[in-house]
Amino acid sequence: MEIERPRVGLAVILMKDDKVLLGKRKNAHGAGTWSFPGGHIELFEELYECAYRELREETGLTLEDYNLVDYHTSAATNDFFRKENKHYITLFLRAEYKSGEIKVMEPDKCEEWKWFQWKKFPDELFLPVRNLIKQGYNPFKGIVH
C-alpha cells in the first residue's frame, strides 16, 4: 500500500517594477483563482532549474541568468486542499523580469497573465498565494524602486 504524502510545488514570484505576475488558473485544482507561475519540482531537479523551466513552459519567458532567482527572500507554505484531497508544500522563489513578451503557453491550464501591485490582487487567489500573504511575506521588502 502506498503512503500518501504531500507533494512539493514551486512558485516563481516574477517582479517587474512594483508589480508581480499572476496567471488565472483553469482545468486544475484552484481553477478560477490567480497564482504565480510554477509547478511541480521534478526528481533531482535544482530549485532554480525548476523556476527556469516552469517560467519558460508557462509564460514563454526565460530567466537570463539563474542567479536572478533569489534564495534569500524565499518562503514556503503548507497548503491543504481538503476538497481535492491534496496536500502541497509550496516553495516561493523571487526573480526579476528582464525582457520578453509574456504569452499563455498552456491555454488548457492558464486563461491569462497579468501584472498586479503587491497586495492589490484580485479576490480569487490560489490557496498557496493566500497563505503566503497571511504570513506577511513581501517580496519587495528592502527594495527601493
Dihedrals φ, ψ of 134, to 5°? -60, -30
pLDDT tens series, the chain, 145 aa:
677 899 999 999 999 999 999 999 998 889 999 999 999 999 999 998 999 999 999 999 987 665 556 666 679 999 999 999 999 999 999 988 988 999 999 999 999 999 999 989 999 999 999 999 999 999 988 655 4
pTM of the model: 0.91
Q: For residues 98, 42, 25 and 104, what is the CA-based torsion angle, rounded to 10 degrees?
A: 40
Dihedrals φ, ψ of 98, to 5°? -110, -55
Fold of the domain built from segment(s) 7-134: Nucleoside Triphosphate Pyrophosphohydrolase (3.90.79)
Instruction: Quote the CA–CA distance of 10 and 88 in Å, as a whole number.
Output: 10
Q: Name the residue with cell 523571487.
A: 94
90: nearest Cα among 79, 99, 98? 79
